[in-house]
Each structure stands twice: as C-alpha cells, then as structure tokens.
Structure 1
C-alpha cells in the first residue's frame, strides 16, 4: 500500500507540471497502478477482518464517495484557468497526506503483525502447493464476481460522467449541470453508510436485488419524465442505491473465497471490474454518437438489468480448501 501510494504521488507531481502528452500518459499509468495496488490491499485487509467487516467496508468506501463528490467541485475551479494543471496539486497534497498516514499506521509491519496488534488471529494459510494465481483462476465464483464488478463500475462511471452531458443536451441544463455529478457521488457516499442497517435487516444478497430494482425504476423515471430538478434528485437517489453494492461485493468475496486467496482474488475482481470504467462509458459514447444522448437511459437500464442477472447467478456459499 505504501509503494502504491508513493507511485500515485509521483504521478500527480508529473501531472501538475502539465508535461508533454506522452509524459502525461505515463503519469496516469503510474497513478492508476498505485490506486489499483492500494485498492486491492485495502479491500483485502478490511474484508478479511473478523469483527464488523461490513461496517468497516461501508465506511471505507463512503470515503471514496466523499472524494468523488468533492472532485468535480474542485476541478471546476481550475477548468477555465490558464494553469489548469494546478488542479493536480490538490491531488498531490491529498496523496502526500495519505502516504504519510499509511507509513505511520503500518510502519513496515506485515499483515499478521497488524492483526496481532488489534487482537485478531493471523490470516489462515492454505496447504496447497499450487501457484496462487492458478488457484484463484480456477474458482468460477471469482470470475462471476469480477464480471459483476465490471458492469457495476461501468454503470457507476457512466452515470457519474455521461449524465452531465445528458442533462445539458437533452434537458437544457446550464453550466451548473456538473453539480449533478457531485450529487450522484454524494448519494453514493450517503448510501454506503445510511443503508448499512438495511443490509443487516434484509441480508446483503437480497439488499442488492432490492437496490437494483429501485435504481432501475428511477432510471426509467429519468428517461420518461423530462424534469431538470426531478432528474437531479433521481440521479442522487440512484447514487444512494448503488452506493452499498460495492462494499457488499467485497464482503461477499470474503465469504466466498478462501482467506489465503482473498487479497489476490479481490485484486483480480477489482482490477477486472475497473475495465468497466473504460468499456461501458466508451460504449455509451459510441451509442450517443450514433443514436443521440437519448440512448443513455435505455442503455443504463439494460446494463443494470444485466448486473442483477449476474448477481442472481453468484452462489450463496462456496467450498473452501480449509
């Protein structure tokens, strides 16, 4: 995690200087690699916790929602300035504080040493002599979770990005339409904390289905009812409903995957899922170019329906090589 944070910080330092385009591409490679390394490790550590893992995951991913809520508001302040790249100085400063916090917390200790400090038993170790990657890739449930993650992340990013274009072009929104994106991610943050009690009450698997059906209904309302204010509210509510799904995915992974394979499996699930943030928005743009931005809502409804279909296929339990 410390190495990932350090690499991410280097990437932001490069971006803040507005380097030539090839170097800018390299800087994003560094930040992406750093974020991915931290994401897999952080989810693996928290999801594998023996006490209150769902609540801890909800809180951790709510902080993601907070960052995504603030980011468009911060970026807007720099978008029309001559030195637009100074936006990345904000990211650089936050990344530095994250790096220092990680160094202070872990202090070079192993996972087991950190668990011992908080009174939890060390992580279990598998007895198989087979390569860990081979063990992970043989598990069908890991690939189902990864495909679900791909669709979820794609839907999340498509809503967060393309909805602004939809509101401006189809609903006549003005320059402040960017705030709707912040409203969506703000809803994401709220949902990951406020709906924890629902997850406990009805069960995580059933909660995802309920949230999915309600989110689809709201997307249909956005699609069929032309109201600028109504659409803004509905988009925020969709964020509230989609918010708890990713932490639930991580918690379900911890229940379905052997403990000694958890971090690697989460790395594959989240890494494969992250391709959805590129593929689905790209597909959205291709459809918008051919059929108009009006195609966004039917596309999102279809993608959400696919997401619910995959979720139903994920088994309730999986055999472990304990």
Structure 2
C-alpha cells in the first residue's frame, strides 16, 4: 500500500517523520502548549486536528488503492499491449524514477511551501496521473510515465502526512496513530485488487478485449475527494513558508545558531550510519512485499494453472493480511520489544513463504500468502517509529525521506529483476526470490541500531 520525502505516505507502502524544520503546525492542532510541553494522552483531539488525521489516513488509502491494483492488472496489461514481463517491469522503473525525483526536490520544496501546500501538490499530481490513465488503452509510453507522476505525488503527500502524525511525539499513542494511517494504506491495497480485477474481468469492448483502463476512474474520483479534503483540513497552511529573522532565509534552518541549507541537511543525513542501516532494512522489506503483491497473480496463472479471473483476487488476501497485521500487531510489538518481535515475524513470514513455494495447491498458496502479509504488516510503522528515535533531531526529516527513497528502490528493483528473469526462465523465479528477500530483511533488521528505550 500502498505502500514514503522529507517526510510527509510512504513509508508507503508505497506508508512517518518529524515535521519539516520550516513548516508551521497549525495552532488548532493543540500538539504543543505555551510552556513547551505536550498535552497528555487523555486530552481530547479537537475537530480541526481530527480532520487532519482523517485526511492523512485517506491519503494513504488512495495510495493503497493505486498500488494494490497493480498485481491484478499486470496480466491484463501484458495481454493488451502484447508485451513480455520484462517490458511491463518498466512501470516499476518509472516508479523508482519518481521516488528519486521526489527525494531530490522535496527538501527544497518543503522549505518554501507550507505543509498544506505540499500536501495539495502531492494530491494534485496523483489526480492528474489517474486522469491520464483512464481513457481507452492509453499509449504504453504515457501509461508508464504516469507511474512516475503518481509516485512523486505519493512521495510528497504521504511522507508529509506521515510526518504530521509522527510529530505527535508528546503522546504515547504515536505508534497507534502510525498504525492507523498505515492500516489505511493496506485497506486501500485490499480494495484495489477487488476493484481492478472486477472491472478488468467484467468489462469488454466490441472486440471482446478487457477494458481494464476503466478501473482508473475509481482512483480518479478518490483523487478528487483527496484533493478537496486536503484543501479543507489544511487550509490554514496553504501558502509559502515565510521568511523570519528567527528562521533565517528561506532554504535554511537554524541548529544551535548555525544555519543549515537544504544541501547541508541532505549531506548530514547521508553521513549518519543509522540512516543507511535502516534504509537497508526497508530496501529488502519493500522489495519483498511489492514483488509478492505484483507478481503473485501472474505466477499462479502461469506456474500453477489458475484461472486469471479468479487469481486476480489473491493479492486482496495478501493485502487483507497486511491490514489485519497493521491493526492487531502494533500493540504486542510495542509491548514486547521491536527487535525481538520483528525477528519473530520474519521467521514466521519465511515459514509461510516456504508453504507457498513447496505445497503445489492454489488454495494453500492463497492462505500462505495471506499469512505472509499478516506477519509483515507491522514492519513499516515499527521501523519508522524506530527511525524517528535513532536519527539526530536536526536531520530526522531529511533522513526519513531518504529511507523512503531506498525503500522504493527495493520496491522497484526486485520486481524488475523478477520480471526480467521471468521472461527468460519463467515466473516461477518468484519463489526463490521471495525466500532470499525475507531472509535478507531479517538479517538487515539485526543491524539496525535500537533506541535505548521505547520512550526515548
């Protein structure tokens, strides 16, 4: 989910950090009071803050619908354009290009545009991309380009929405709010396959070919609602970041009297060892879930002989498992310790992946992939929570955005490798690929520095 930029939404999910140093938090949020302390967890949220949290959650839902539909639609795209799995993998390459573009531009933009303006820009780009996809069989080059556009929009909106939620560090319920918005992403990933496969398998043109592109009218409508909701909820921060004597010139922030430009923030973030280690974990983790969700339908159709109309719903089982995992597992993960619980989940994911591989039964495969989704569900929010506590405060925003980028690199690179290898040796290469990725995810988690305490 769907499923991360200088933080927002990913992430994803495409799914978070501390607020941008120059972004303003609306006074109505009541996140901080006059004496510099934060409100207690018993303090009720006002309507303005609640509306912003709903908007943040809905942005993740929209991203999830988009990302969750890819696996169900890929077989139809392959057959509609008459291309191979290697060629269709270019949509993941376009997504990677979008994340890189967002990583380069986000720090600079977020120091000039206020929070609401960044969120609105991200929502507008996603809506534009869905509009370009929804007309009859768009040219393949244009269709691929829209994945870059969608990714940039998601990066801006989801990362800053993530940031807004994670900035509630005065409350011990931050992990629950993060769990909520990332659960909304997986709820979107659950809806995506049902909507995508349902429309693609039931609508045909005069030649009897699937009109799969009609699915994109669904995320287009959601995109319009998303844009309106952002405009209403964050209307108090829709302008430019103002230049103030305290903050220094636009494009710079102060750190103990020292001005830091966007370039220096990026350089400082990339010199932190913890940034690279957490990025490695996300690189393999997102590579696992995107590869599994993106290629499971084609695998079950080609390697297991399943019917396309029925197999298109299997990614919904995977996404449904992730959704339940993000709802049910954050509390025990937080209570019993992030390091040991994520390692336990990795072992369980590997066990169910081996069932998926070694038991030649479509029903068993569908159940196993759902459990794999369930136990991998809390990975994202848990690792983001750890990241906000181990990164230096002055570069945390920029650091999380680059973690997001490296995550999306894995989420783009490994599906591409799977598609290219699948074109030469068959899509059954998916199975050893997933085993290796899950193993690498567990090993990389052991390398991530852990916070000294859960309340650090």
Tell me which of 432, 438, 452 is aligned to 1:298: 432
2:412 paired residue among 278, 283, 287: 278
Task: Report the alpha carbon displacement of residue 216 of structure 1 after superposing the two structures with TM.
Answer: 0.3
Residues 333 and 341, structure 2, Cα contact 8 Å, conserved in 1: yes
Match of 1:65 among 186, 191, 197: 186
Cα 1:163–1:24, aligned 2, differ >3 Å: closer, same or farther?
Answer: closer
Which runs of structure 2 are paired with 1:1-322 in the superposition (5 Å)? 1-18=119-136, 19-50=138-169, 51=171, 52-79=173-200, 80-82=203-205, 83-109=211-237, 126-127=255-256, 128-130=258-260, 131-175=264-308, 176-317=310-451
Q: Give the CA RMSD over aligned residues.
A: 2.2
SS of the aligned residue for 2:312 comes to: helix
Q: CA deviation at 1:125?
A: 6.4
Pick which of 269-278 and 60-69 moved more. Answer: 269-278
DSSP-derived class of the 1:129 partner: strand
| Distance in 2 separating the partners of 1:56 and 1:250 | 12
Q: Secondary structure at the match of 2:237?
A: coil
Which structure features the higher share of helix residues? 1
| Aligned equivalents of 1:293, 1:235: Cα separation in 2 | 16
Deviations 1:237-293 (A, max 9, x none): 000011110111111111111334233222111122112222101112233334433
Q: Is the 8 A contact 2:386 2:451 kept in 1?
A: no
Task: Write the distance in 2 (CA, Å) between the matches of 1:23 and 1:290.
Answer: 26
CA contact (8 A) 1:145 1:269 kept: yes
SS at 2:255 equivalent: coil
Show CA shifts across 1:110-135 (max 9, x none).
8xxxxxxxxxxxxx963343421111
Deviations 1:208-234 (A, max 9, x none): 101001000111122222222111111
Give the structure-2-normalised TM-score: 0.63
Segments of structure 2 that go 5 or more residues without pairing to the other structure are 1-118, 206-210, 239-252
In structure 1, list runs of 5 or more residues that go unmatched: 111-123
Query: Counterpart of 2:360 in 1: which secondary structure?
Result: coil
Deviation, structure 1 residue 22: 4.1
Give the Cα–Cα distance (whole angstroms) in 2 for the partners of residues 84 and 292 of structure 1: 25
The 1:29–1:165 alpha-carbon spacing in structure 2 relative to 1, beyond 3 Å, is closer
Q: Give TM-score, length-normalised by structure 1.
A: 0.88
